[in-house]
Amino acid sequence: MRRISIGCSVLGLLLALALPGPAAAFEPFRPLPERPPIPEGNPQLPARVALGRTLWFDPRLSVDASVSCNSCHDLLAGGTTPRSTAVGAMGRRGRRNPPTVWNAAFQTALGWDARYRSLEHLAQAHFLDPTVMGWADPGGLEARLRAIPGYRKAFRRAFGGAQPVTARHAAMALAAFQRTLVTPDSPFDRYLRGERQALDERARRGMERFVEAGCAACHFGVLLAGPVPGLALQPGQGFYELFPNFPGSPYDALYRLQDDPGRYARTREPSHKGMWRLPTLRNVALTAPYFHNGSVWSLAEAVRVMGRTELGRELSAQEVEELTAFLRSLTGRLPAIQPPRLPPLPPEGALPGLPGG
């Protein structure tokens, strides 16, 4: 079997120990906390969160003012986009399906290839990514934001200092806002907390199958994306999967599963070929289309693909039905979203970097 054991061996052991007793069998899962870890360097100051919320919806963060963060990580569309790959600034298409922003604050590494260490790091990189915000350098974005009086005031309130409007601060504010994007109280969480009827019979059987079939060997922990919180893992351990693990199925061609070498494209390390950061399964019913290339629309089909390519076998119709029911129980409570009010340009002002700006 070609299963990759990076980090999974520890859990394999846990599972093997746990499986005999049905109650203990679900130890790999943890309910989603109401709040994610907050890094010491970026406290959740209300002014910072509020600024991040405004920036989140502001298309002026992109070089041609055509996309906001919310364009590709749409809070009304599962925190992602229904497109297979998103369209960024200047109409440029990204190469991979945008991961959901809901609960992203619980991730230990971000991006399909785990290239980002934190939400702050991700935001700063996205500003300069030609397929995302498209800036040639942070200075362009900073000049843009400084031209907007409301931002000068809001950055000062959130960060203080003589020159608070910086790309770094924008990234910090965006990260602070994203740390509020948590969807607790899914039926699964309520079940884990002891509310037995929160899952119906089918979803409960799906949860058992999820562990027995081996899905939970990788999809475990708070996000069902590994690693278990509190279990010390080094970077590079515990959150990659080889996809497809069992190549050669008709799905490979149908969904172009090997169209992208994953983390290898970034690191050029041969062992990283086909390696991907494990995506969270929370709210997975809302985040179609699936996989790095957004090639599969239906959740049940994604389950069938995973069975064949990761577990090496065809799942039965009943298994697919039960696993899908379980996955649907991972949809949390999503808050209503107030449409934003973006700070205006002064009437005399043009928007730096834009004709007609």
348 binds its own copies (CB under 8 A): yes
Task: Point out which span in 25-33, 159-167, 240-248, 346-354 binds its own copies (CB under 8 A).
Answer: 346-354
Residues 306-345 that bind its own copies (CB under 8 A): 317, 320-321, 324-325, 328, 331, 334-342, 344-345
# of chain residues touching its own copies (CB under 8 A): 63
Least distance CB 244 / its own copies (angstroms): 15
Residues in 227-286 at the binding interface with its own copies, rule: CB under 8 A? 254-255, 285-286
Say how many C-beta atoms besides its own lie within 10 A of residue 201's C-beta: 9
C-alpha–C-alpha distance, residues 354 and 66, integer Å = 11
d(CA 357, CA 355): 5
Report the DSSP pairing between strands 275-277 and 240-242.
antiparallel
Instruction: Please identify, using beta-carbon distances, which residue of 22 and 335 lies nearer to its own copies.
Output: 335
| CA–CA dist 151, 164 (Å, integer) | 10
Selected from 160, 248, 250, 355, the binder of its own copies by CB under 8 A is 355
Which residue number, 270 or 347, has a Cβ lying nearer to its own copies? 347
242: which strand partners? 275
Strand partners, 221: 29
Cβ closest to its own copies, residue 35 vs residue 333: 333
Between 38 and 317, CB nearer to its own copies: 317
Determine contact, residues 291/99, Cβ cutoff 8 Å: no
- CB 318 → its own copies: shortest distance, Å? 9
For residue 150, the minimal CB distance to its own copies (Å) is 12
Q: What is the C-alpha to C-alpha distance for residues 188 and 184, in angstroms, rounded to an integer?
A: 10
Q: Which is nearer to its own copies, 83 or 152 (CB)?
A: 83
Residue 149 makes contact with its own copies by CB under 8 A: no
- If one counts every other C-beta atom within 10 angstroms of the C-beta of residue 124, the result is 21
Closer of 69 and 158 to its own copies (Cβ)? 69
- The encoded tokens of residue 19 equal 């499986």
| Cβ partners under 8 Å of residue 95, min gap 6 | 85, 131, 260
Is 295 one of the binding residues for its own copies (CB under 8 A)? yes
Q: Report, in Å, the least distance between residue 347 CB and its own copies.
A: 4
Give the number of other CB atoms < 10 A from CB of residue 291: 25
State the DSSP H helix or E strand holding residue 275, giving kind and residue range, or none if neither: strand 275-277
Length of the chain: 357
Residue (of 132, 130, 155, 125) closest to 142 by Cα position: 155
Q: Dmax of the chain from CA atoms?
A: 72
User: Coil, strand, or helix at residue 240?
Assistant: strand
**What type of residue is 73?**
H
Q: Which of residues 30-89 bind its own copies (CB under 8 A)?
A: 57, 59-60, 65-68, 70-71, 74-78, 81-84, 87
For residue 299, state whether it binds its own copies (rule: CB under 8 A): yes
- What is the DSSP secondary structure assignment for residue 338, as one 8-state letter? P
Q: Minimum Å distance from CB 219 to its own copies?
A: 18
Task: Output the smallest distance, CB 297 to its own copies, in A.
Answer: 5
Residue 347 lies near its own copies (rule: CB under 8 A):
yes
3-state SS, residue 119: helix
Torsion of CA 199, 308, 286, 266, to 10 degrees: 130
Q: Which is nearer to its own copies, 12 or 185 (CB)?
A: 185
Q: Nearer Cβ to its own copies, position 248 or 250?
A: 250
User: CB of residue 235 vs its own copies: minimum separation in angstroms?
Assistant: 33
Would you tell me which residues interact with its own copies (CB under 8 A)? Answer: 57, 59-60, 65-68, 70-71, 74-78, 81-84, 87, 91, 93, 254-255, 285-286, 288-289, 295-301, 303, 317, 320-321, 324-325, 328, 331, 334-342, 344-351, 354-357
